[in-house]
Amino acid sequence: MGGTYLFKHNFGRDRPCADPDFYTHVRLLINCVGHGNSFISNHAANHFGIATFFYTSFYPILKKWAGIALVWAALIAYAQVYVGIHYPFDVLTGALFGSLIGLGTAKLFNNRYGFAIFDNQPEA
């Protein structure tokens, strides 16, 4: 929601699939999802927000496996560019915006609640 009200309504950049100067130069893989604004990518923001929260909160438990969440978010972001729905800068900015929100939320969560049930586990 922050991406829409803070960025999309204020910048008003067309999607690549709806830009008449651009869409004739690329092969679009899907029909245009509408003529809404492109900057920033809310898909990238949402998925990177969730992935950053997950990575920051679960890294002490899952170690390197927590990074799968970031790979998942990166694949979602890449797909938005690949199919012609967003420009790369839209996705990059969305990823940064979502990561900041996810990091802030994770810090608040971990400071307030954390995962105390995992602290008293016996060593294997």
CA 47 – CA 39 distance, rounded (Å)? 16
Q: In percent, how much of the chain has pLDDT > 90?
A: 31
Is 11 a member of any domain? yes
**CA nearest 41: which of 71, 66, 69, 13?**
13
The SS3 assignment for 45 reads helix
Is 100 a member of any domain? yes
pLDDT tens-digit profile of 17-50? Answer: 666 777 677 667 766 666 667 778 888 999 999 9
Is 120 a member of any domain? no
Average pLDDT (85-113) is 89
Give the total number of structural domains in the chain: 1
Domain of residue 72, residue span: 2-20+41-110
Is 86 a member of any domain? yes
Is 9 a member of any domain? yes
| pLDDT at 11 exceeding the cut of 60 | no
Q: What is the pLDDT of residue 42?
A: 87
| pLDDT at 15 exceeding the cut of 80 | no
Is 28 a member of any domain? no
Is 14 a member of any domain? yes
Prediction pTM value: 0.75
